Amino acid sequence: MIAVDDLVALVRLYNPKTDEALIRAAYDYGAHMHEGQTRHSGEPYFSHPVAVAAILTEQRLDDATIITALLHDTIEDTKASYPVVAERFGTEIADLVDGVTKLTNLQLSSSETKQAENFRKLFMAMSRDLRVILVKLADRLHNMRTIRSMRPEKQVQKARETMDIFAPLAGRMGMQWMRDELEDLAFKVLNPEGRASIIRRFITLQKEAGDVIHRITGDMRAELEKAGIEAQVFGRAKKPYSIWRKMQEKEMGFSRLSDIYGFRVITETENDCYRALGAIHQRWRAVPGRFKDYISQPKSNGYRSIHTTVSGRDGKRVEVQIRTQKMHDVAETGVAAHWSYKDGVRSENPFAVDPARWLSSLTEQMGAEEDHEDFLEAVKLEMYSDKVFCFTPKGDVVKLPRGATPIDFGYAIHTRIGHACVGAKVDGMRVPLWTRLKNGQSVEIITAEGQQPQATWLDIATTGKAKSAIRRALREVDRGRFIRLGRELARSAFEHVGKKATDKVLETAARHLRLEGRDEVLARLGSAELTANEVVRAVYPDLSDDDSDTVDTRRAVIGLAPDQTYNRARCCRPLPGERIVGITYRGKGVVVHAIDCEALARFEDQPERWLDLHWQSGKHPPIHTATLDVTIRNDAGVLGRICTLIGEQRANISDLEFLDRKPDFYRVLVDVDLRDAEHLHTVTSAIEAESDVAAVRRHRDPNRAGAPGGQ
């Protein structure tokens, strides 16, 4: 464990004016609070907070952040409290420690909806003080460095969470060194064989070709000296995970990869960056399409650098990054550069981005997302994306993620432009809307009056802003259609019992059904989320037809010919209330599939067999079976409680199949007889609320698709 004198010495290297007494006091307090606690490895627990603080000194962070690292587990894991920490070290540090504690308690790798809500909380914590996430990232880095002392299943969980969330977040904040190390440490857990294979191939390559990095570095230094440019040159082999990712993306083996080496040229001035670029391009042939100028067009996290790829010795491709020392400092620490100290004062780096402005740009489009899954998608798109820069016809620059299309470009300019898009021109040429845009292209959006977003655009768009705007527009269009359909269904249903579906009657139904108002009742009625009988019964319980025996189950599906019979597809098992289509079989009737069933792909070239179907309004007997995939704690009585919960929701279990039985958890497939999609939602919500349930989802098996009778 690092001694307090050594930790103070690390801080004094960049901040001679540090409050040494306060750091020592925090060190002593943390050691006292964690006394007697040990890590999985058997080391004293306090060695972990001290290591986290040491990681943060590498980024030259302020005293408050270093002290927060020393105390970051005290409120959660010891008898310490917020008031005591505030009294001893001030409210700023107490707030930071409290923020880290709340982040630690977020289960970011839980179910989708819960994960999305926790991402919201993560971004709220970041918006209050970004130093909270800097401490959390350093905490995760040290935990990953010492992960071998954890149980194997815990290692996999933490590694997956690191790969999916913390590594991309570090990259998005500009801390590329931390992203690289987090990814490599996670890769070592998730795919040790793949990582070891790449390392072995590197060793073999080095034996065959010698020290390529040393030779190319020497060549570059010679060329820069010849051009009279003062610069430092560093070379390195890329991290194993970075190489693995390229192999997967390009679908090629290690031997065919060419750009596995990277070089950095650190110059004294910005002008020298472009001079160095010219010298390198004169000596080596530039690879077309691999040049990016992030100096003239910086990334939103403050990153500035020139990127180019050239063919080096023996035709090997090498990536070169050219930047000044101040640009390099920001490239290493990203948004954290805002708090960096040098000689006891806040570092005045002109390229360090304002954290408030960075967070504002990151969260702007996410704030409009009401749906949890939409928000989660927007967050992940933003965290993983790299940028391309395109131009409007007037020359304005539009930043977009890599892979963006003209649809994304239109919505980036204005939602109105996106909605009215009917076509696009790229560099003066008409192109399809699914075209992937490239750096430096000029894009013109062609619009038309009366144009509305199309559902297919969701597959074309890549940005969260575009997708959420398209979804909102489609919901409005669908809602209007559902309201009109619902009004007709309500009129018919109320006339059937001798009443009228007036606005007052529908408002009464909304109150009894606990919905927002008349239009919400009509929209749910038109979309089959409510039945006409349920609406009538909400207002006139004595008049509605509640005899389920009168329902003609043979006519439960609308859209069939009088002589056609139907079966639910065994692959997706659609429920009343879900959108459905039918596939016809000669002499065998119709198989009904959910609209999103994967098995429908095999019938795409046979449109004559498709039928547009929907469920008949009215009561359906509880004979519709759906399969649930439930992960539960392997403990006495847990499965019994789950079965009881399902029974309490008036659902019947028809079959059970056990999967992946582990010492602590196991999965079970449960076949449940349900009335409709709403009943399914009720059952899954009740199961998910049980504390011993880790996950529950609808299980569908596309391999079970087929014609009626098993063909």
pLDDT in tens, 290-348: 788 989 888 777 788 999 988 865 667 788 999 999 888 888 877 777 777 776 666 66
Please tell me the predicted confidence (pLDDT) of residue 105: 63
Does residue 548 or residue 242 have the better pLDDT?
242
Q: Where does the chain hold its CATH 3.30.70.260 domain(s)?
A: 624-704
The answer to whether 536 and 520 are in contact (CB under 8 A) is no
Percent of the chain with pLDDT over 90: 21
pLDDT at 406 > cutoff 90: yes
pLDDT at 58 > cutoff 50: yes
Pairing of strands 566-568, 589-594: parallel
**What angle (nearest 5°) sits at the alpha carbon of residue 417, between those of residues 414 and 422?**
150
Q: Which residue, chain included where needed, has tokens 């070290």?
A: 89
How large is the angle between the packed helices 464-496 and 532-539, nearest 10 degrees? 60
Average pLDDT over residues 378-405: 71
Residues labelled as active-site residues: 76-77
Please tell me the predicted confidence (pLDDT) of residue 49: 93
Specify the range with the lowest mean pLDDT, choosing from 72-76, 347-351, 508-512: 347-351
For all residues of the chain together, what is the average pLDDT?
Answer: 80
Pairing of strands 580-585, 557-558: unpaired
Cα–Cα distance for residue pair 74/82, rounded to 1 Å: 9
pLDDT at 20 > cutoff 60: yes
pLDDT in tens, 100-130: 887 776 555 554 445 555 565 666 656 567 7
355 CB-contact burial (10 Å; exposed 0-12 / middle 13-18 / buried 19+): buried
Cα–Cα distance for residue pair 112/373, rounded to 1 Å: 7
Give the confidence band of 411 by pLDDT, cuts at 50, 70, 90.
Answer: very high
Highest mean pLDDT among 90-99, 256-265, 325-334, 553-562: 90-99
Cα–Cα distance for residue pair 590/568, rounded to 1 Å: 9
Average pLDDT over residues 44-53: 92
Give the confidence band of 549 by pLDDT, cuts at 50, 70, 90.
Answer: very low
Reference 374, options 107, 689, 574, 382; nearest CA is 382
Phi, psi values for residue 109, rounded to 5°: -105, 20
Structure token pair of residue 64: 């408050």
Q: Which CATH number fits domain 4-190: 1.10.150.120, 3.30.300.30, 2.60.40.1180, 1.10.3210.10?
A: 1.10.3210.10
Q: Which residue, chain included where needed, has tokens 């009109």?
A: 484
**What angle (nearest 5°) sits at the alpha carbon of residue 117, between those of residues 114 and 119?**
110
Give the confidence band of 419 by pLDDT, cuts at 50, 70, 90.
Answer: very high
Please tell me the predicted confidence (pLDDT) of residue 113: 46
pLDDT at 27 > cutoff 90: yes
Give the confidence band of 634 by pLDDT, cuts at 50, 70, 90.
Answer: confident
With 0.85 as the threshold, say if the pTM is over it. Answer: no
Give the confidence band of 446 by pLDDT, cuts at 50, 70, 90.
Answer: very high
Q: Where does the chain hold its CATH 1.10.3210.10 domain(s)?
A: 4-190
Consecutive H or E run containing 481: helix 464-496
Q: Where does the chain hold its CATH 3.30.460.10 domain(s)?
A: 194-346
Residue range 194-346, CATH number: 3.30.460.10
Please tell me the predicted confidence (pLDDT) of residue 696: 92
Pairing of strands 261-267, 317-324: parallel
Average pLDDT over residues 79-93: 90
The answer to whether 340 and 333 are in contact (CB under 8 A) is yes
pLDDT in tens, 162-196: 887 788 888 877 788 888 899 999 999 988 888 88
- Position 647, amino acid: G
Report whether CATH 3.90.1170.50 matches the domain 624-704: no
